[in-house]
Structures are given as C-alpha cells and as structure tokens.
C-alpha cells in the first residue's frame, strides 16, 4: 500500500551538481538529455542503466503559491482528485494498474510545483505514460467525488496540523514571516477556504494550469532519449497546447519589526526554539548571496562539525540538537534560520542567547579559510554520493525547472559553491542577519494549572 504525501513542501537541500576529477577536470554526474515537444512540453531524460527500472515524473509549474486569494488548498485538493479517474479510466484504476504491474507511485504539492511519479519496470513505462497523459486533459470529477475527497483533506489537516503543535506553530510562523508573499498561506490550505472549494473552481484551476506547455516530463533510469522520444510524442505530443501562463507573484515588503511567537500546548513533550530571517533565493532578492548562504549554513549549523553543534551540544552540553537551515530553490524569498532543542531544565532564554552569540561572532569576526574549505568539501562529497540515490536526479532537476531554474544551474552547482570565499560568506551573513528583522518561535509545554 502506498502513502501519498500530499502536504509536503519539498525542502531541496543540496542541488546535485558536478564532481571534480583529479586535475579539476569536469565530469557531470547526471548529464541529462532534453528536448521540447511541439506543444511546448519540455522532456528530460536521465539515463541510468544500473537496473531495468525507470522513474516517470510529470511536474506542473503550479503550486499553492499560484492559488488565487480565497482558494488556498486548491492545488493540493486537485492533486487528490487526479486519482479519481478520467473518461477512459475508472476511479482508482491508475493506482491499481501500477500496483498490479509491480510499480510504486506517489505525488506531492509544494508552494511552487505539483508532481506525479511512478517507479516501474522499463517494459511497463508506456503503460504509465498513456495513463498519465490521459489524466492531463481528461480528468473527470463530479460533486459526488469532490465532497468526500474534500473531507479527506480536512481530516488530513486536522491530523497533520491541528493536532500537531509543532505544525501549528510552523504555520503561524510562515504567516508572520511573509507579510505579503503567498508562502504565508499553508500548502494544505486554511480550513474555511478548503470547505468552500467546489467543482467549478477546481475544474477552472485544472484547465488553466494542467497543460503540456506548463509541464515538464522527466524520466530517469534504464532508457535513452532516443527510446523515450517516440513515446513522448505519441502520448504527450498530441495533447493541445494550453494558455501561456505568466506566474505573477506579489513582492514582499521590508519588515520593520521583529516578531516573536510562543505556543504552549499540553501535547508538547519536547520544547524547541527557532529564529528565521527572510533571505534571497536563486530567483528572488540579492541572488548573488545564494551560494555563500549555503556555505554559511553548513559552517554555522550544518552537522556535527558546525559551530552551533560543537558549542551547544558538545562543549556546553545545554542542547540535544542545534543547527541552521537554508534552501535557495524557491521562486520567491527564501528563509535562513537557526534552531535548538534544549536539554531538560535548560531555560529557553539561555539557549537563545548562546545561539545568537555564535551568530554575532560570525558577523564580527567572519569565517576562516579552513571553515569554508571544509564546508565546500563536505557539500561536494554529499552531492557526489547523492547520485547513487535512484530518483534524486529527477527530483532535483524537476524542482529546478519548475521553479525558474535550468539544467545547467543544477549541473554546475559544485562549480558555483567552490567560488565561495570567506569574504563572500561574511557579506552574505551581513546582508541577511544584520539590520533585518526576524521571527522567533518557541514551542513550550503548557504549564500545569
């Protein structure tokens, strides 16, 4: 039985890039082939002959951040309804066929994209292409189907968010952090707006966004571009082009005040602290800092060798964990943040002061050549190792192509990371962490009355 993760914002950690051979000779890891069908659909083939298996993915350039005001959750609900059948397939027939042929399938919605994928034997690829192409244009949904599926989503929201204090706090943090940008709305949607979604609104959204020229087909595995191209043309190439869509997004105004959120709940068994700053991404704001910020996150809080882990977890033993996070792959403004989980009996104020002391030390003293070199080395090694994770290539390329990126940017990630210096790291730190305004969040157990 397959679990369909439908409320997932994919946090792309390391964009898979290239590895460096001795003598700095450049060798691309994925080296994908790409072509475009006459109707505008981009096709990417990532050949990997290790096993007679393929992963077939269709990515749509639409996510929850593309929803109209008052329609939060419509992209996610449509993802559910895509499994309800077409004029040619009965409800659940797609999933049953994939399972019957030994495959696995899944789907997810994020802020910037929606994707559907199947992992299956190569000789079953044509079957899933035929079915996936069919539901791109022939989705059949009725009020009788929408009502129960809407209830499924509402129950999912109750289970994943309303009954989960950390998820509740995260939702409130996003609403406070983004003053105007649509990332302030939850991917799953607000409850009252989910309840208002009906067949007409959903079908209008589907007809506008689900078209070949607004999609990317990616196939990874035991197949070549020469083998895939006739199949892509046969099943996807015959679909009429849809309307050209310009993804118009709002602009985030500058914040003028720090914000602090505290959530106390009887379900909290482990307190936590975090602080977030809006930061540039690959596509928004002062983009020149995107690569240096990744190195900065690795140095301050990227793992056991990071400053925060060594200081709070190892040396002073006041925290169970501590680190930093940053993901530059968003279309809109990204987030640079810190977190810490205190040991029992340690005051949250002490944890906050210690984290910010390390941050201030970076802003005043910068980082060393050795720290930058070590961070780049670890990031390069992680990128090289990730190529052995089947499906990672399709995931990384798809996320990039549906968020304003290019294949070259994915392939050349390591080259860009290797250009980062202590000076550029300090400049990025000052740009994001100095003179800007943050959102601090505390998750606490509710005091006994």
Rounded-to-10 torsion of CA 368, 370, 372, 374 = -150
Q: In this predicted model, what pLDDT tens digit does every residue of 223-248 receive, in sequence order?
A: 999 999 999 999 999 999 999 999 99
Q: For residue 391, what pLDDT is reported?
A: 86
Partner residues linked to 320 by β-bridges: none
- For the domain made up of 259-445, the CATH class stated in words is alpha beta
Low-confidence ranges of the chain (pLDDT < 70): 1-29, 386, 449
Q: For residue 1, what pLDDT is reported?
A: 26
Q: Where in the chain is the domain with CATH 3.30.830.10?
A: 32-235, 259-445
Q: In this predicted model, what pLDDT tens digit does every residue of 136-164 receive, in sequence order?
A: 999 999 999 999 999 999 999 999 999 99
Tell me the C-alpha distance between 282 and 422, whole Å. Answer: 20
Which DSSP string corresponds to 344-405?
Answer: TT--HHHHHHHHHHHHHHHHHH---HHHHHHHHHHHHHHHHHHTTSTTHHHHHHHHHHTTT-
Residues designated catalytic: 79
Q: For residue 195, what pLDDT is reported?
A: 97
As its CATH architecture, domain 32-235 has 2-Layer Sandwich (3.30)
Residue 438 CA, distance from chain mean position: 22
Q: For residue 34, what pLDDT is reported?
A: 97
Q: For residue 28, what pLDDT is reported?
A: 66
CB 222 within 8 A of CB 54: yes
Q: Find the angle CA(240)-CA(242)-CA(244) to the nearest 5 degrees.
A: 140
Tell me the C-alpha distance between 438 and 449, whole Å. Answer: 32
């Amino acid at each position: 039985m397959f679990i369909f993760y439908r409320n997932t914002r994919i946090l792309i950690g390391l964009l898979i890039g290239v590895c460096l051979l001795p003598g700095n000779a450049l060798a691309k890891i994925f080296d994908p082939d790409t072509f475009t069908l006459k109707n505008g659909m981009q096709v990417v083939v990532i050949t990997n002959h290790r096993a007679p298996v393929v992963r077939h993915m269709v990515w749509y350039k639409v996510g929850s951040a593309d929803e109209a005001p008052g329609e939060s959750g419509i992209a996610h609900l449509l993802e559910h309804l895509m499994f309800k059948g077409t004029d040619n397939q009965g409800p659940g027939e797609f999933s049953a066929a994939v399972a019957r042929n030994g495959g696995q399938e899944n789907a997810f919605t994020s802020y910037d994209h929606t994707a559907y994928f199947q992992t299956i034997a190569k000789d079953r690829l044509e079957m899933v292409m035929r079915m996936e192409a069919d539901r791109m244009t022939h989705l059949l949904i009725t009020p009788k189907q929408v009502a129960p599926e809407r209830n499924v989503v509402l129950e999912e929201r109750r289970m994943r968010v309303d009954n989960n204090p950390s998820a509740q706090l995260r939702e409130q943090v996003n609403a406070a952090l983004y003053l105007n940008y649509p990332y302030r709305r939850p991917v799953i949607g607000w409850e009252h707006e989910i309840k208002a979604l009906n067949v007409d609104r959903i079908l209008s959204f589907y007809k506008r966004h689900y078209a070949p020229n607004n999609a990317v087909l990616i196939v990874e595995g035991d197949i070549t571009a020469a083998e895939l191209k006739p199949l892509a043309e046969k099943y996807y190439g015959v679909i009429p082009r849809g309307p050209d869509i310009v993804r118009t997004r709002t602009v985030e105004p500058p914040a003028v005040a720090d914000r602090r959120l505290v959530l106390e709940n009887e379900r909290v068994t482990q307190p936590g602290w975090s602080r977030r700053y809006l930061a540039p991404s690959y596509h928004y704001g002062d983009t020149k800092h995107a690569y240096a910020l990744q190195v900065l996150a690795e140095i301050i809080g990227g793992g056991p060798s990071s400053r925060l882990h060594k200081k709070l977890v190892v040396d002073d033993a006041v925290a169970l964990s501590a680190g930093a996070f940053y993901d530059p792959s968003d279309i809109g403004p990204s987030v640079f943040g810190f977190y810490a989980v205190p040991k029992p009996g340690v005051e949250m104020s002490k944890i906050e002061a210690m984290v910010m002391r390390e941050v201030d030390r970076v802003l005043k003293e910068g980082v060393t050549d050795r720290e930058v070199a070590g961070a780049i080395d670890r990031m390069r090694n992680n990128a090289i190792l990730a190529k052995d994770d089947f499906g990672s290539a399709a995931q990384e390329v798809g996320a990039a192509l549906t968020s304003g990126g290019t294949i070259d940017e994915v392939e050349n990630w390591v080259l860009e990371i290797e250009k980062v210096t202590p000076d550029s790291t300090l400049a990025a730190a000052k740009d994001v962490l100095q003179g800007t305004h943050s959102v601090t969040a505390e998750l606490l157990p509710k005091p006994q009355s």
